[in-house]
Amino acid sequence: MQKADHENISVKSGQTIQVFAPATIANLVCGFDILGMALNNPHDVMKLTLSNQPGIRIVHNDTYNLPTTPEQNVAGVALLDLLYEVKGEYGFDLIIEKHIKPGSGLGSSAASAAGAVVAANKLLGNIFSNEDLVRFAMAGEKLASGVKHADNISPGIYGGITLIRSIFPLDIISLPAPPLFVAVVHPQIEVKTSDAREILRKEVALKDAIKQWGNIAGLVAGFMKKDYGLISRSLEDVIIEPVRSMLIPGFDEVKQKSMYAGALGGGISGSGPSIFMLCENEETALTVEKIMKSIYEGMHLKNYTYVTTINHEGIKAVMV
């Protein structure tokens, strides 16, 4: 393998970068496995320092008890994959302050993995392309869920809404995103990504598949034309949601009442349990948030809600 060369670029050991890595919504309704969106809130905060001392040292500055051994940490394995392609002996010190709750379905593992490699690349003088960074960060997703997928990582790295047309070979397309508001609820129940995957049927009816690809085509056209009516009509998932939503108590009620309140549509974020609803304006999103909260309060289920917007910039990395 050819190693990335950065001898002409000033790389200083000891330099630190602060990273803001956004939450992301994967499996965007009819875009199962191919469509993701970055959010402005919540986001993780990380500090990465370049070191002459080989190896990766991770500190978790939060209460989630995530493993800090690099080989068992999603950011760690992503950085290891990156270092493997770098000429010269370097190491990293990483401090992670998680605000995106692990297991929320809001791309917590992707934020760590993608945030770490974006920061590392900046410290090394931007020697890698965004596509390379997605490749490295997917090692983190593989560790977290057993499967290399890019629909959380890509919107994190590219910002906005991204289409992952293909993983092998990687083909990522940034789509223009209209100014939407997003209401999110994270009911505190556990849905394991692996369970959520196993529950899916391996075969689907051709007529449902046709409906689904009509909807994804409509959704892409709707985003690109800024046609809110078309976006709303296309936000329909006839294949995954009917199965997976059974794992999320309150799902149908949240969706039905949110739509009645004026949301354009929405669904399960990632493999759940978070539910998101896209709205044309902030007022509707705030109403939807109240509805979400009241449904889970009624069920005496601990929950977290967010009203936010699409993050167009992606991961932000600032030298400190």
Q: Using CB under 8 A as the criterion, which residues of the chain lie in contact with a second copy when the complex forms?
A: 30-35, 163-166, 171, 173, 175, 200-207, 209-221, 224-225, 230, 233-234, 239
| Active-site annotation holder among 24, 193, 305, 308 | 193
Q: Which residue, 234 or 305, has its beta carbon nearer to a second copy?
A: 234
Write down the least CB distance from residue 110 to a second copy, Å: 19
Phi and psi torsions of 19, nearest 5°: -125, 135
Residue carrying the six token digits 């609820």: 185
Residues 6+ apart with CB under 8 A from 82: 117, 120, 121, 128, 133, 136
Determine the Cα angle at 236 with ends 280 and 277, to 5°. 35
Is 68 among the residues known to form the active site?
Answer: no
| Active-site annotation holder among 141, 236, 241, 289 | 141
Residue 85 burial class via C-beta count within 10 angstroms: exposed 0-12, middle 13-18, buried 19 and up = middle
Q: Hey, what's the torsion of the CAs at 233, 225, 283, 276, to 10 degrees?
A: 50
Q: Which residue, 219 or 279, has its beta carbon nearer to a second copy?
A: 219
Q: Which residue, 13 or 194, has its beta carbon nearer to a second copy?
A: 194
Side-chain-side CA neighbours of 75 within 13 Å: the count stands at: 33
Write down the least CB distance from residue 312 to a second copy, Å: 17
Nearest to 76, CA basis, from 107, 108, 116, 45: 116
Write down the least CB distance from residue 287 to a second copy, Å: 27
Q: Which residue, 59 or 204, has its beta carbon nearer to a second copy?
A: 204
Is 241 among the residues known to form the active site?
Answer: no
Say how far apart CA 278 and CA 287 lie, in whole Å: 12
Write down the least CB distance from residue 177 to a second copy, Å: 12
Q: Which residue, 95 or 238, has its beta carbon nearer to a second copy?
A: 238
Residue 292 near residue 303 (C-beta atoms within 8 A): yes
Write down the least CB distance from residue 262 to a second copy, Å: 20
Which residues are designated catalytic? Answer: 141, 193
